[in-house]
Amino acid sequence: MAKETENQSNKVDEVIKKYGPKVKAAATVAATKAKPYAQSAWQYAKENPGDVLLGLIGVLLWDIDDSLDEIEDSTNISAYVDASNYVDGGR
């Protein structure tokens, strides 16, 4: 077991050595491209907190709606299973 863990650790180290510099370079380029957009978004949020709050509330309500739908589906399935067990005498 310890030997497997050591082999996996060595494989991870090899992958990091092989791809680490490429990933770091790509991340640096992506961060450089994204920085102006992030600054613009931050400035907008500072100037229009009501719009940002309204958007966040909308996302939260959307998530709540999905959760309620899932609860409703689970309740329907549970009711069907309970009714089936009652009709079948618990078999």
Which phi and psi (to 5°) does residue 48 adopt? Answer: -135, 65
> Which pLDDT value is given to residue 91?
60
The CA distance from 70 to 64, in Å, is 10
pLDDT digits over 1-21, tens only? 566 777 777 888 888 888 989
pLDDT digits over 75-85, tens only? 888 888 888 88
> Which pLDDT value is given to residue 30?
94
Contact criterion met (CB below 8 Å) for 45 and 52: yes
pLDDT digits over 35-88, tens only? 999 999 999 999 999 999 999 998 888 888 888 888 888 888 888 888 888 888
Structure pTM?
0.49
